[in-house]
A = this chain, B = another copy of it.
Amino acid sequence: MAPPTSETLTAERILEVTEEVLRRHGPAKATVVDVARALGVSHGSVYRHFRTKAALREAVTKRWLDRTSQTLGRIAGTTDETPPEALRQWFGALFAAKRHKAGDDPELFATYTVLLADTSSVVEEHVLELVGQLTDIVGRGVREGDFAAVDGGAAATARALFDATNRFHDPAYAREWEQPGIEAEFTAVVDLVLRGLRP
C-alpha cells in the first residue's frame, strides 16, 4: 500500500491513502499516525497537511461527499435540459450515487456514516451545496415559466424538494434502497413534487 517515499506527498495523496486505511480497518482507524505508517512517511510529514485527526477526518469526509456534489453540479449547471427534466435527472443521479456508494462498498459506506456523525459542519455544508444546486434549477424554471413562483422563493422550494426526497438520499434509509419497489416509490415522489411545481 505504501508508495515510494520519493513520490511528492500531496494532500490529495494523503486523503487517497486515508480512504484506503478506512476501507481496510474501519472508522476507529485513520489517525494521522495510522495514515503516515500506510504512506511510509513520518507523521510530521502528514501533520504539515493536516494538523489534527479531526482535520484529516473532515477532509476525507468532504472529499467523499464532493464526489457526489460534483457530478450533480454538472446537471444543475447545464441548460441542455428543461428545468423539470433537469430536476428529474438531478434526483435520479443523487439516488444512483448514494445507492452505488451504499451497495458497492458497504464497509466504506458504514465507515463514512460513522464519520458523518462526527463532522456535522462538513455535512451541513454539503447539504447547503446540494440545496444551492436545486435552487439554481428551480430559479431557472421560474424564470422560464416551467415552475410557479412559490412562497419563500426558489431557495425555500429547493429545501422542500430536498426534504421531500430524503428517503432516497439520506444514508439513514440505505437499508431500504435495495427493497423491491423502491424505484417505483422514488418515481412516485419525484412525480408528485414535480407536479407541485407546475404553474
Closest CB-CB distance, A53 to chain B, in whole Å? Answer: 25
Judging by beta carbons under 8 Å apart, are A157 and B193 in contact? no
What separation, in Å, do the CA atoms of A14 and B199 have in the docked complex? 55
Cross-chain contact B191 with A193 (CB below 8 angstroms): no
Which chain A residues (146-199) contact chain B, with CB distance < 8 Å?
148, 150-152, 156-157, 159-161, 163-167, 170, 172, 184-185, 188-189, 191-198
Bound state CA distance, A160 and B191, in angstroms? 9
Contact B188 A152 (CB under 8 A): yes
Enumerate chain B residues within 8 angstroms of A159, measured Cβ to Cβ: 185, 188
Number of identical protomers: 2
**What's the Cα separation between A191 and B192 when bound, in Å?**
12
Complex CA gap A3/B196 in Å reads: 55
Interface SS of chain A: helix, strand, loop or mixed? Answer: helix
Interface residues on A, range: 20 to 34
Given contacts A159-B185, A184-B152, contact A164 B192 (CB under 8 A): yes
The CA-CA distance from A36 to B198 in the complex, in Å, is 59
Distance in Å from the Cβ of A75 to the closest Cβ of chain B? 21
Contact of A194 among B152, B184, B194, B196 (CB under 8 A): B196
Q: Are A189 and B164 within 8 A (Cβ)?
A: yes
Provide the bound-state CA to CA distance between A196 and B148, in Å.
Answer: 12
Considering the complex, give the chain B residue whose CB is closest to the CB of A194.
B196
Q: Which residue of chain B lies nearest to A170 when distances are taken between CB atoms in the complex? A: B172
Binding site for B on A (CB under 8 A): 148, 150-152, 156-157, 159-161, 163-167, 170, 172, 184-185, 188-189, 191-198
Q: A164-B165, A164-B192 are in contact. List 16 more A-B contacts (CB 8 A).
A: A150-B191, A151-B188, A152-B184, A152-B188, A156-B184, A156-B188, A157-B192, A160-B191, A160-B192, A163-B167, A164-B164, A166-B166, A193-B193, A193-B196, A195-B197, A195-B198
